[in-house]
A and B are shown apart, each in its own frame.
Chain A
């Protein structure tokens, strides 16, 4: 009997990796890709690691594939920008065993800074791109990717999107294909693996010939299939857009592409000839559409469906109605809400978040803050409002340096998390030291990779597969980069943080403040949770504690007699007892944890 299990796309890719006999996998966490490695790491007899960044992860996978082992690197779409250098040389060299790169794209930017369409990387690097449209295909195409990689001596890009990664559907499981436990001697083949110009010149035509051969193969690739139904409308589609196509146009003929680069031009021509009207339904870029049009085949695509954001059945249906492809009757009636717009609920720093005190101080100091990628980007949300730029991993320190060198009249602060500092912050800090700018860098060390769900990193002392590891200490590392002004404080030491930042903002040299406390959601922090209470007799409704942006601090129903303003109250189910509010309350109306214990005992 076949085993059928409900798997998310990411779980299915991990299963596919295991079934394909993958031995080595490396990644840097990033939504929506993170769970691929987390799940793969739990299979027996595999090696899985978190690398400090995506480029390192890909180089690790390449090394393993050179050594003759099936290997994979996983990352979110923007991670492939970091790893692009390695992708390009890996395409030139090929490898001794299957090499697959997973790019998890994020249309609609649920948790990303952009929504770039990484199919373009496959075309750019002359490698095939596979796109599953549900969890079953995510598993199956992962296995196929390794077969293709070895058949054509090419890296393969497995491109998924948030709705594939984080959607669950039933998957039929297969067995692991165990591969030889012996590795061959590491290849001594400089003509193939040493990309100096003389060798690279010879490899480039090989790469071009290879992608032409794969294009021929794509014509009969079993995951490229024509589904003929009503021939008045034909739709070329791939990935999750295939599901929306079937949902909204159940009667239309479909060319479903499992490989979106290179495209099977013969198959496309045959399909186009068999239908009256041809459209391409794809998320983000007109990637397939451009090729179809270049082939001289009339078709529609982005003139009907949106270029930006993600598709869903509603968007597809509405676009189709507007283009006359469907009748008005097909659109469901959408409830509308009358009255005032609803208050927004943006994501915020959690109650007890150790990043909050730093942003409270930065907001007070009114300095420009160049931020980075992580939970702490939420320091931008009012009332903290203390992040002024955020572009990509590791950018903040160098952006601050550039602004200072350009003569920005204010002192700049760069904030960066521990994991992001290891990722790409270090070279930027070295640059600040080498080229001497008085940038104040705050490293928010919460002892984990927070936003993606607590993945270990080089500072945590253990690995993805739960092995103990040396802890890379940040302060000595910063000193080794040449920074003379360095201080490490508790992230909850509001007075110390304010005093240090004021001091550092006067200096004429680089400085680094490291603020350290575990993320409030880590087990070691949870053990210490102890909610605080407001002493209503002392509170006069001054609202200062509302301005630290803590979700646990609410307006109570009790009004202060003099001011008429609501007094504060603390939700005991949310408060962790971080004491930031207790530290800043001018009337000492929120007793500290120890005081609360004494008060309770006295009562």
Chain B
């Protein structure tokens, strides 16, 4: 734990990435670690690409993660997963939501959305630890597609536990749930609890 653990979250403005990284950084702090987080607000959030950086460790300097230095890579959208591939540390852990959001350059600009085989090949070349999750459907089953971010956090919590390199870092599910409870409005709390558990189940199977 002397070398920090670096997370990179990426996706599209409006997908709940900022809230997810708020939770992630607070989980690190509550688990007794130091933590830093960096993101950008403003113009980039109007449906554009969004990137958020989270680091856990004993002593952390830079708030942002360099290219090739993300130990854990969480993509909320497939095109953004490819776009931010350069952040992933080779053989790192990648969690990719299989949602596709076509940008206007595809809808009306004649550009081509990359196909799944390209996505999977690019990640397979880098790491044996790439996980694909239909988080949107899982969130819809739980009751609200907007809970995608909590589904992904649930999946992440289980992936950290299951990976021998990260198991020592993995906070208990109760810590995650406590932080989520502090951050979501109480009327959405049950939904988010279920979404978190559904994300965990998708990785680890139901308990």
Q: Which residues in B have their C-beta under 8 angstroms from that of A340?
A: 112, 114
Chain B contact-residue range equals 35 or more
Q: Which residues in B have their C-beta under 8 angstroms from that of A34?
A: 41
A242: nearest residue on chain B (CB-CB)? B61
Q: Which residues in A have their C-beta under 8 angstroms from that of B13?
A: 347
Which of the candidate stretches B32-40, B169-177, B196-204 sits at the interface with the other chain?
A: B32-40
Residue pair A344, B68 in contact (C-beta under 8 Å)? no
Instruction: Produce 1/0 per residue, A373-385, CB < 8 A to B.
Output: 0010010011100
Residue pair B68, A335 in contact (C-beta under 8 Å)? yes
B4: nearest residue on chain A (CB-CB)? A247
Residue pair A312, B43 in contact (C-beta under 8 Å)? no
Instruction: Produce 1/0 per residue, B43-59, CB < 8 A to A.
Output: 11111110000000000
B46 contact from A332, A337, A350, A543, Cβ within 8 A: A350
List residues of chain B with CB under 8 Å of any chain A CB. Answer: 12-13, 22, 25-26, 29, 34-49, 60-69, 79-80, 82-83, 85-86, 88-90, 102-109, 111-114, 118, 122, 126, 145
List 7 tightest A-B contacts by C-beta distance, closest first: A111-B42, A31-B42, A347-B48, A167-B63, A332-B68, A314-B66, A343-B111
A345 in contact (CB, < 8 A):
yes
A343: nearest residue on chain B (CB-CB)? B111
Q: Whole-angstrom distance between the alpha carbons of A375 and B42 in the complex?
A: 9
Given A6-B35, A167-B38, A333-B68, answer yes or no on A381-B104 (Cβ-Cβ < 8 Å). yes
Q: Which residues in B have their C-beta under 8 angstroms from that of A98?
A: none
Chain A contact-residue range equals 35 or more
Residue pair A337, B82 in contact (C-beta under 8 Å)? yes
Residue pair B26, A6 in contact (C-beta under 8 Å)? yes
A451 contact from B42, B60, B69, Cβ within 8 A: B42
Could you tell me which residues of chain A, from 339 to 370, have a CB within 8 Å of some CB in chain B? 339-340, 342-350
Which of the candidate stretches A45-53, A83-91, A551-559 sits at the interface with the other chain?
A: A551-559
Q: Whole-angstrom distance between the alpha carbons of A375 and B126 in the complex?
A: 38
Interface of A: prevailing SS: loop
Q: Whole-angstrom distance between the alpha carbons of A326 and B27 in the complex?
A: 35
Q: Which residues in B have their C-beta under 8 angstroms from that of A162?
A: 40
B33: nearest residue on chain A (CB-CB)? A170
Residue pair B62, A243 in contact (C-beta under 8 Å)? yes
**Given A242-B61, A333-B68, A342-B83, 12 new contacts (CB under 8 A):** A163-B64, A167-B38, A168-B37, A312-B62, A335-B68, A337-B82, A342-B114, A343-B112, A345-B49, A345-B80, A347-B47, A451-B46
B85 contact from A240, A337, A451, A452, Cβ within 8 A: A337
A246 in contact (CB, < 8 A):
yes
29 pairs, A vs B, C-beta closer than 8 Å: A6-B25, A6-B29, A31-B41, A110-B40, A111-B44, A163-B63, A166-B38, A167-B37, A167-B64, A168-B36, A168-B38, A170-B35, A246-B61, A313-B64, A314-B66, A333-B90, A335-B85, A335-B122, A337-B122, A342-B114, A345-B12, A345-B103, A346-B48, A347-B13, A347-B45, A383-B109, A547-B108, A549-B104, A573-B145
A453 in contact (CB, < 8 A):
yes
Could you tell me which residues of chain A, from 442 to 491, have a CB within 8 Å of some CB in chain B? 451-453
Interface-central residue, A335, A339, A452, A551, by most chain B CB under 10 Å: A335
Interface-central residue, B29, B35, B64, B89, by most chain A CB under 10 Å: B64
Q: Whole-angstrom distance between the alpha carbons of A528 and B144 in the complex?
A: 19
Q: Whole-angstrom distance between the alpha carbons of A124 and B199 in the complex?
A: 55
Residue pair A167, B104 in contact (C-beta under 8 Å)? no
A332 contact from B49, B82, B89, B107, Cβ within 8 A: B89
Residue pair B109, A343 in contact (C-beta under 8 Å)? yes
A334 contact from B46, B67, B114, B118, Cβ within 8 A: B67
Q: Whole-angstrom distance between the alpha carbons of A342 and B114 in the complex?
A: 7
Residue pair A350, B63 in contact (C-beta under 8 Å)? no
Residue pair A169, B69 in contact (C-beta under 8 Å)? no
Q: Which residues in B have their C-beta under 8 angstroms from that of A6?
A: 25-26, 29, 35, 37
